[in-house]
Amino acid sequence: MVLKVTPRTPGADASGLYRRPRIVLQPKNVEDIPAILGKPKTYPTPVRAVGADYSQTRCVGGDGGTTIDMGTLDKILEFGENTVRAQAGVRVGTLVRALTERGLELPLTPEIGQISLGALAVATLPQASHTVGVAQMSSCVTELKLITPQGKQMTVTERNRDLMRVLKSSFGLLGLVHEIVLRVRPLTPVKMEYQDLSLKEFAARFAAIIEAPGALRLHISPFNDRVTVERRTLDEAMGASRSGMWQIRNSVMRNVLPAFGSTVGSVLSAPGLRTAVVSGVQRALRATLDRAARGVVLYAHELMRDLPQEAWKSRYTYSLWAFPQADFPRLLGEYFAFCKAYFKEHRYRCNVVNGASRLHQDRGSLFSVSYSGPMFTLEPSSTGDKGWDDFLIDFNDFASGLGGTPTFNQTRALQPEHVAKAFGDRAKLFRALRQRTDPMNRLHNSYFSHLLG
């Protein structure tokens, strides 16, 4: 039996276009899904899956159709030595905590816990990576079970590499995923070290920075001309006791993290601080770096945070493009100049420290942003204040012009020409496959129709 719930916001927007679904359904069992797909008169097209609804774009896109909220399929089914099997509605934070209790973790741990496993398998979620081949969350997936647009059950494993690659970029357009198997490994301590550099210093040391082992996350302040390099090295040999770890963890939470990811939530939740975010965060960043200079050790899951229950309440928003690693210092120089020129002309600048992650090459999914080689993301971030939307329109042209690659779920205000330029034949291949597998467009929405045809 499916449960019908009221859409979270009303139907049509000012333009008269239906942005929201007419019906939202919560399946109790997997068997409910083929029944929904088979009744277009009762359950209007498009049928779209929604996980946590945290994407930065309209990729879920209800369009006056039927949205299936996968959150009710929320069971972790089986823990193995090297894998875990779970339903699509399980949140990654829930899974990561359950794995931790068993001394296990995912090969990549995202920084927010809300992401649903269904979205993790089919959307683009790049993460600061340690090795070639594992730079996107979907690369942790070894098996998928889905219901096709025709209502058929399908199981796909790593043995069918080509099909996996397409499904891992399918955004609910080729089927609704209900069960996932993910690779796991023993919990491994991570050593975190920081270097605070000017852009010039960053460029001069770039070759050494990318040569040394470890995952790289950058914290970028265009107006202060600073790039803080955060290096996360897996420390398999480290024998720190659990209590020792907790001491270190507490000091990280108190002294270091407030300056990075978690700042965003804490700084923004204080009333009246919104306008002080830029300078406040950047000052905090510098003040805490000395204390972190010797490096701290923690487990990856301790970096994970939970955003508010509803995405729109987080008051923190960002957009994401990726650029080839080889040219990244030059690209950053151009970005700093772009930000300064934009501010001069429009009096707008991003009011949250910008992030970036180094991605190793990963061909595990068709729309992987590091499909062609190693990349760095660039993530302008803001509280979504006045001027942000216009800034992104110009930033997108800047990014596309310099050979950037966007995502469908984390790059805002994307246009078809950006997609065609970045993905070329990969976009054409996906379009042809989608048309063949879903000729009635049962799962197709206006967002993807606009961007991919």
Give the closest residue to 104 by CA, choosing from 183, 186, 182: 186
Question: How is 127-179 classified by DSSP, letter by letter?
Answer: ---SSTT--BGGGGEEEEEEE-TTS-EEEEETTSHHHHHHHTT-TTSS-EEEE
Selected range binding ligand FAD among 30-38, 53-61, 211-219, 288-296, rule: CB under 6 A: 53-61
Tokens 């995202």 sit on residue: 110
Judged by CB under 6 A, does residue 229 bind ligand FAD?
no
Q: Is 300 in the site for ligand FAD (CB under 6 A)?
A: no
Q: Binding residue for ligand FAD (CB under 6 A) from 24, 33, 60, 248? A: 60
Stretch that binds ligand FAD, among 110-118, 182-190, 321-329, 387-395 (CB under 6 A): 110-118
Q: Which of 7, 35, 45, 53 binds ligand FAD (CB under 6 A)?
A: 53
Does 260 bind ligand FAD (CB under 6 A)? Our answer is: no
Shortest distance in whole angstroms from residue 341 CB to ligand FAD: 27
Q: Which is nearer to ligand FAD, 202 or 316 (CB)?
A: 316
Residue from 171, 260, 376, 423 in contact with ligand FAD (CB under 6 A): 171
Least Cβ distance, residue 208 to ligand FAD (angstroms): 27
Among 37, 119, 181, 199, binds ligand FAD (CB under 6 A): 119
CA-based radius of gyration for the chain: 22
- Site for ligand FAD contains 180 (CB under 6 A): no
DSSP states of 374-430: -EEEEEEEE---TTHHHHHHHHHHHHHHTT-EE-TTT-TT--HHHHHHHHTHHHHHH
- Listed in sequence order, the DSSP H helices in 238-308 are 242-251, 261-269, 277-292
Which of 23, 24, 25, 49 contacts ligand FAD by CB under 6 A?
49
Give the pairing of strands 226-234 and 189-198.
antiparallel
Q: What is the smallest separation between the CB atom of 337 and ligand FAD, expressed in angstroms?
A: 26
Q: Rule CB under 6 A: is residue 156 a binding residue for ligand FAD?
A: no
Residue from 2, 36, 37, 52 in contact with ligand FAD (CB under 6 A): 52
- Residue 344 C-beta: closest distance to ligand FAD, Å: 29
**Which residue number is nearest to ligand FAD in terms of Cβ?**
118
* Among the residue ranges 48-56, 273-281, 321-329, 362-370, the one whose residues contact ligand FAD (CB under 6 A): 48-56
**Hey, which residues between 65 and 94 contact ligand FAD (CB under 6 A)?**
70, 88
Interface segment toward ligand FAD; rule CB under 6 A; list 117-125, 239-247, 270-278, 426-434: 117-125
Closer by beta carbon to ligand FAD, 206 or else 368:
368
Rule CB under 6 A: say whether 452 interacts with ligand FAD. Answer: no
Q: Does 167 bind ligand FAD (CB under 6 A)?
A: no
| CA distance linking residue 258 with residue 280, whole number of Å | 11
CA distances from 395 to 315, 321, 379 (A): 20, 10, 11
| DSSP count for the chain of H helices, then E strands | 13, 20
Query: Do residues 183 and 107 touch, judged by C-beta distance below 8 A?
Result: yes
Give 46's contacts (C-beta < 8 A, 6+ positions apart): 61, 62, 63, 65, 66, 441, 442, 443, 444, 445
Distance CA 248, CA 377 (A): 29
Place of tokens 């920084």: 111
Q: Does 430 bind ligand FAD (CB under 6 A)?
A: no
Site for ligand FAD in 402-421 (CB under 6 A): 409-410
Q: Which residues of 160-196 are buried (b: 16+ CB within 10 A; e: fewer)?
A: eeeebbbbbbbbbbbbbbbbbbbbbeeeebbebbbeb
For ligand FAD, the binding residues (CB under 6 A) are 48-56, 59-60, 70, 88, 110-112, 115-116, 118-119, 122-123, 125, 171-172, 176-177, 307, 311, 314, 316, 409-410
